[in-house]
Structure 1
Amino acid sequence: MRAFISILSVLLCLQLNSFAQYPAPALIPQPVEMKTGKATDNFTIANQRTQVFISDSSLRPSAEFFINFVKKHYFLELTLTTLADANRKNVINLIQESPASMALAKTPDNPERYKLDVLNVAVTIRSPSPAGVFYGIQTLIQLLPPSAKPLPLQAKAVSITDYPRFAYRGMHLDVSRHFFNVDFVKKYIDYLAMHKLNYFHWHLTDDHGWRIEIKKYPRLTTVGAWRDGSIIGLYPGKGNDGIRHGGYYTQAEVKEVIKYAADRYITIIPEIEMPGHSMAVLAAYPELSTTPKLPKKVAETWGIFNKFNNVLLPSEQTFNFMEDVLTEVMALFPSPYIHIGGDECSKIWWKQSAFSQQLIKEKGLKDENGLQSYFIHRIEKFVNSKGKTIIGWDEILDGGLAPNAIVMSWRGEKGGIAAAKQKHKVIMTPENFMYFNHSQFLKEDSLTASRYVPLANVYNYEPVPAILTSAEAKYIWGAQGNLWTEYITNPANVEYMLFPRLDALSEVLWSPKSKRSFPDFQKRLKQQLRRYDFMGIRYSKKYAL
């Protein structure tokens, strides 16, 4: 195999010397470095005759992803081979190389880097990791025409060296406000994979529904997964529709989705909200609330309202319950990270709770913010004991940040800046740039949350605040887009709100800052929108004007 790779490298070097700067393909995200060849250098994909070679069994998911994509959209059957042959023509080579070999090719030391060369006789994607090869596949797909005709199918000739700017490139989906089935969650994961994102933040629990099976506490899904109605229209709404809504994922389904994401090199981070956003829990187990004798129900209106949104009582019974829940969740998800929420806790309930006030005194806490910090510290200690790390919204800074916590900064950048200065990892997701549930246009085609987050705002966002020193800036792990679903009721709505802001997000997180240009992005986006038409992906036609 080493001899084959060496021969292949020599042949590539000889052929790539003829590359010049012809018109570049419209790629999103923009690669680090790209040289283009002539149309005569394009690679032709031929039905059954084109083979996909993998140098290692770990590359099979990437090969199968490409083979299945070509079959689904271009109706061509490619064959997979593990037999090395330097003389083979019309082949797509997927090769995992040693980091030392990649260093000799003058590619930077980034585990997700890849080198893609398209010539008329062969396509070669090389990387030190299976993930890097997979990202090369996503680029190769964009080199194909966004149409099944005319044939023959050709990939444009290029030589690309590429790697991501940020290690964390995330997208979120709220399935509590509105539930989406497994098939659509898989499709959503495919969308993230297409854009070279590597983390999927799965918001599984909230006031409006509990969406994951917990075997020890079945009422979480028999009761907590269902609400008896939802408000009509924008909050405060025009009444209640009275339609029962809900659903949940069995543990078997969760495992299925995790495997699907792993084959696309995406880590799923589950979110289990606490100590606020817990009405679905309290509807099922009211004894965990500050008012255990009062009946509770799963929330039917959006937002946080002190009158209705009770919170978890910080009792030993509650901590035992949450540890049991997290034990099952952590056994399911291989992710080293567990998101525990920590945001928008209505502390008025703790102020009115004799138990909570006594606990504040016993623990020598300053106030209810200190009690929240105590709660998060307790949970973090348990999660850390299982070898995992917690992520929380920036409210976990209130009262003192847990020692090993990662902060997701949503209320602007202030929380992220504070966490970075305390040497904690930060994921930037400020609402005015990264919340895709807000409207894309001043006049929207459908009901959305009330703020305005146009495509340009997403694209022009810079995740590393200028106020940070170079040493502090290293704690900015990356950024994430969020999609909350109060007003997003079906898959078509999800796609409409996601695209093409997801394209902008991908370029912010992947491409070098120096290469980003919104006018140039808009030009390249036209080709991407044609691809979405080809793939049947919904987006606002205002972008096509």
Structure 2
Amino acid sequence: MRLSLLLLLAVLFSAQLSCAQSARYAIIPKPTHLREQSGTFALPANLTITVSETDAQMRQVAELLAEQLGTATGRRPSIATGKRPAKQGIFFALNKKNKLGAEGYELRVTPKQVTITASEPQGLFYGMQSLLQLMPVEVFSPTPVAGVTWAVPCCTIEDQPRFAYRGMHLDVSRHFFSVDFVKKYIDLIALHKQNTFHWHLTDDQGWRIEIKKYPLLTQIGSKRDHTMVGRYADNKFDNKPYGGFYTQDEIRDVVAYAQKRFVTVVPEIEMPGHAMSVLAGYPALGSNPDKIVPVTGKWGVFEDVLFPREQTFQFEEDVLTEVMDLFPSKYIHIGGDECPKVQWKESRFCQELMRKEGLKDEHELQSYFIRRIDKFITSKGRRMIGWDEILEGGLSPNATVMSWRGTEGGLAAARQNHDAIMTPGDFCYLDKYQADPKTQPITIGGLLTTEKAYSYEPVPDSLTTAQAKHIIGVQGNVWTEYMIIPEYVEYMVFPRAVALAEVGWTPKKDKEYADFNRRLDVHKKRLDLLNVNYFGAPINDKFTYQWPVETKK
């Protein structure tokens, strides 16, 4: 009996020790394999970061690490190139034989050195993110912090993402956000080992990208006379002009900034619906060249859409040519959602085109439109993404489907051997309430807690193994009808986007919400230092999230 009691106490002590050690390893998203070890690596006063090869991207990763450490500690590490690490240093090494994939990495921390190994520089970058999260949270401070013991707990990590596509979306049409905020958003995407920024640049409420060949897109299409305020049902508007767009130089700057952080920027140019900002300047592309179509400040879906004329296809090809020159991304998003067919049904031109092409209804006419665009994008060596409505009337040959109206569209695409990105509204739409609406600023409605977002499983058991491979990733979507300032975007996005980051990276079997929540408690301190106004953050009360009271009918 005495021996059993001693054994029980030993087990309990061991469990407590393990739990205490685990608090030292609050990495998000959770690594695939992490072996905790005793001891720490203490950062020396004159730290050297060594890269194994003369490689620009490797050096770039080392520079980012040196910059962060220098900012927080007040002592910027030096960077060297060599086949061996400096004594008591950090070592980045490329190993093409590494079997963890392009984004996988190995991180080994001993009392003498830190080694990060990967087959590609992006793997080194993600290893660096884990290394920073192993350090005291003050490493994310924007100014030097005194009195901190700069040490890293010893461990061995072998890590790789579950999905190849791990994205975050931002709508800048309903409300426009500065280049500085977009860069901050990209920094936060990269921090959470997400690799795609889906930039929703055009919609009925504003065209936000400079196109040299069609200057009216920004001269007219980027501006609106008023904006909805308050709840949609109130149908109230302010009386204030609103506008903004990104120049091509600003776009290039953002893309280059993202590339240094291994984030791909995917542009979205909406068609054939959500096109009022196009028709405001170029009405001949719609139902009537003499019709005045204003850029709207109202939310919702509108009947004014692009017509499938040759003039329209030439316009879209011209626009996409400039877009593809700015964005080197593999994917180009063309929207394809919420396109009313009323004007097409009433158009003699559209009905004759349908008869000529053997199209049985207006859904097939939309498919005809999308196929034309898909063919053009494919001819340029790119891949087209569209919202799941592009399934209606027949899916284009090379299309990737982004499933938002539930999961059915993505699963249907996968069963047709098309790639799909899962972003169902119930789990991935971050414009929903995250707590009791009575306690929250106005949103579009619905409820999505962090726990519910974390519970999302993108690959159901109903798919075969071959079909499941076509589910290539997951994305959080941020629609900004009600998000009038950057701080409200942050409030709505975080920490739910952190949960989705773990959905995209961590194997299903290793996810457990209580464990995530413990790590999130530590992670919130990092977000505090990064000045992120997440839901529940200490700085929430500094900002006003509502519109002014003065409105007009």
Pair in the same fold by TM > 0.5: yes
Counterpart for residue 426 of structure 1: 420
Query: 3-state SS of the aligned residue for 1:216?
Result: coil
Query: 3-state SS of the aligned residue for 1:504?
Result: helix
Superposed CA offset, 1:385-427 (max 9, x none)? 1111100000000000000100000000111111111000000
Distance in 2 separating the partners of 1:540 and 1:182: 23
Q: Which has the higher mean CA deviation after the structures are superposed, 142-151 or 294-303?
A: 142-151
Q: Does 1:363 align with 2:354?
A: no
Counterpart for residue 279 of structure 2: 282
Counterpart for residue 515 of structure 2: 520
Query: 3-state SS of the aligned residue for 2:116?
Result: strand
Superposed CA offset, 1:462-519 (max 9, x none)? 0002211111111101111100111111111111111111110111010111110011
Q: Does 1:125 align with 2:123?
A: no
Superposed CA offset, 1:48-106 (max 9, x none)? x00111123221121111112223333331111114445x322110111122xx3xxxx
Cα offset for 1:288? 0.7
- The letter for the 2-side match of 1:89 is K
Aligned Cα RMSD in Å? 1.7
Counterpart for residue 531 of structure 1: 526
Counterpart for residue 551 of structure 2: none
**Among 373, 379, 382, which residue is 1:388 paired with?**
382
- The letter for the 2-side match of 1:128 is S
Q: Does 1:340 align with 2:334?
A: yes
- The letter for the 2-side match of 1:379 is I
CA contact (8 A) 2:100 2:160 kept: no
Cα offset for 1:34? 0.8
Cα offset for 1:534? 2.1
Distance in 2 separating the partners of 1:30 and 1:228: 47
Distance in 1 separating the partners of 2:276 and 2:44: 56
Q: Percent identity?
A: 49
- The letter for the 2-side match of 1:329 is V
Cα offset for 1:535? 2.1
Q: Which has the higher mean CA deviation after the structures are superposed, 346-355 or 187-196?
A: 346-355
**Among 172, 184, 187, which residue is 1:187 paired with?**
184
Counterpart for residue 473 of structure 2: 478
CA contact (8 A) 1:21 1:36 kept: no
Do the aligned partners of residues 487 and 74 (structure 1) sit closer, same or farther apart at CA in structure 2, a change above 3 Å counting?
farther
Give TM-score scaled by structure 1 length. Answer: 0.91
Counterpart for residue 483 of structure 2: 488
CA contact (8 A) 1:22 1:37 kept: no
Distance in 2 separating the partners of 1:85 and 1:332: 39
Distance in 2 separating the partners of 1:152 and 1:76: 13
Q: Which has the higher mean CA deviation after the structures are superposed, 265-274 or 237-246?
A: 237-246
Gaps of 5+ in 2: 1-17, 139-144, 540-553
CA contact (8 A) 2:208 2:246 kept: yes
Q: Does 1:97 align with 2:91?
A: no
CA contact (8 A) 1:21 1:37 kept: no
**Among 293, 297, 301, which residue is 1:296 paired with?**
293
- The letter for the 2-side match of 1:430 is P
Matches within 5 A, 1:109-508: 109-147=100-138, 148-305=145-302, 309-443=303-437, 444-508=439-503
Distance in 1 separating the partners of 2:377 and 2:134: 44
Q: Which has the higher mean CA deviation after the structures are superposed, 419-428 or 119-128?
A: 119-128
- The letter for the 2-side match of 1:514 is K
CA contact (8 A) 1:419 1:426 kept: yes
Do the aligned partners of residues 238 and 74 (structure 1) sit closer, same or farther apart at CA in structure 2, a change above 3 Å counting?
farther
Query: 3-state SS of the aligned residue for 1:451?
Result: coil
Distance in 2 separating the partners of 1:75 and 1:222: 46
CA contact (8 A) 1:94 1:133 kept: yes
- The letter for the 1-side match of 2:41 is F
**Among 40, 64, 72, which residue is 1:42 paired with?**
40
CA contact (8 A) 1:117 1:159 kept: yes
Distance in 1 separating the partners of 2:234 and 2:94: 55
Cα offset for 1:456? 1.2
Query: 3-state SS of the aligned residue for 1:441?
Result: coil
Q: Does 1:79 align with 2:78?
A: yes
CA contact (8 A) 2:433 2:440 kept: no
CA contact (8 A) 1:427 1:478 kept: yes
Gaps of 5+ in 1: 1-19, 103-107
Distance in 2 separating the partners of 1:285 and 1:469: 47
CA contact (8 A) 2:100 2:159 kept: no
CA contact (8 A) 1:350 1:357 kept: yes
Cα offset for 1:245? 1.3
Query: 3-state SS of the aligned residue for 1:200?
Result: strand
Query: 3-state SS of the aligned residue for 2:267?
Result: strand
Distance in 2 separating the partners of 1:316 and 1:232: 38
Q: Which has the higher mean CA deviation after the structures are superposed, 533-542 or 351-360?
A: 533-542
CA contact (8 A) 1:169 1:199 kept: yes
CA contact (8 A) 2:207 2:221 kept: yes
Distance in 2 separating the partners of 1:492 and 1:71: 27
Distance in 1 separating the partners of 2:189 and 2:72: 18
CA contact (8 A) 1:392 1:408 kept: yes
- The letter for the 2-side match of 1:154 is A
Distance in 1 separating the partners of 2:37 and 2:492: 36
Query: 3-state SS of the aligned residue for 2:446?
Result: strand
Do the aligned partners of residues 517 and 96 (structure 1) sit closer, same or farther apart at CA in structure 2, a change above 3 Å counting?
same
- The letter for the 2-side match of 1:377 is R
CA contact (8 A) 1:350 1:356 kept: yes
Distance in 2 separating the partners of 1:489 and 1:200: 20
Query: 3-state SS of the aligned residue for 1:338?
Result: strand
Query: 3-state SS of the aligned residue for 2:27?
Result: coil
